[in-house]
Amino acid sequence: AQSPVPHRHCKMRAADRCAVGSSTLLGAVCGLILLHTFGSNNGLQSTLSGRVTQAPRGLRMLQKRSSSWVANALSKQKKEETVALIKDKMDSSSLVFGMRYNGFSVKQIEDLRKKLPEDTSMRIAMNTLVKRAGEDAGYGAIASACKGDNAWWFVGENIASGVKAYLAFEEECKKAAKTDPEAPVPTISGGCMDGEFLDEAAVKKLKSLPTRTELIARIAGSIKAVPTKLGRSIKQVPQKMAVGVSKLADGDDNKDLIVGDIFPKADAPVEA
């Protein structure tokens, strides 16, 4: 059997472990100091008087990894903010559709934004982010339009106004293309309204929808006409009844014939 290890050796091993832990901690601290001091080649050169022109490989890897972590965190946060913003836009929209903007300059897009109706806005966003927002906002069908580069239109209650604004821009671009064949002309990748997908032709047809003001005026006109029509109908009832009573009173003893003339009976079945 092996003899028991002396207690003093156990104490030394514990001390060794402490020493190793302290060395590791010290190494980590030194690494952070080096990372802070040698954050760039200029700092490293100034510190070592030009004798070393580049940070150690391990330190460079640590710098790259740290930068990657920070970039990924910021990118994820930015994407979440964009999804939330698009969802809010969808929640307040009656129609959403995509416009392919390849070939257009930043100035052209900005000028178009300035011409949009009051309750219509436009935003360029990644298709994946639009899909995510659409799933949460009841616009899941918009996924079929998420192809290529899109500038997304968010149209409020006045759907016809928003569609007409797009058609005016398209017509303007078509006129420019007649003189310059290389001038871009926009197209619609697809849209979504009431949870249903709309192709380009269906979106353009919405230009004929009445505006909110026009719709309210039509409804008000219909309601105003109801009492007049109802009054005419009620007024005609006593007149018809009076005519019928008068004919019955003036008839001979064959009352059934007069009543039959006024209120025709169903044809009697023909006997075989």
Residue 76: band (very low, low, confident or very high) from pLDDT cuts 50, 70, 90: confident
Rounded to an integer, the average pLDDT of 216-222 is 74
The dihedrals phi and psi of 93, each to the nearest 5 degrees, come to -115, 150
- Can you give the pLDDT at residue 70? 58
Name the average pLDDT for the chain. Answer: 74
Alpha-carbon span 16 to 8, nearest angstrom? 12
Rounded to an integer, the average pLDDT of 203-221 is 81
User: Which carries the bigger pLDDT value, residue 263 or residue 211?
Assistant: 211
* Amino acid in the structure at residue 1: A
Alpha-carbon span 35 to 176, nearest angstrom? 56
- Can you give the pLDDT at residue 65? 59
Residue 217: band (very low, low, confident or very high) from pLDDT cuts 50, 70, 90: confident
Rounded to an integer, the average pLDDT of 112-120 is 94
The bridge status of strand 150-155 relative to strand 120-124 is antiparallel
135-141 contacts, C-beta under 8 A, 24 or more apart: 136/83, 136/87, 137/86, 137/87, 137/90, 137/91, 138/90, 138/195, 139/90, 139/96, 139/192, 139/195, 140/195, 141/192, 141/195, 141/196, 141/197
- Can you give the pLDDT at residue 121? 96
- Can you give the pLDDT at residue 27? 56
H/E segment holding residue 21: helix 7-37
Residue 91: band (very low, low, confident or very high) from pLDDT cuts 50, 70, 90: very high
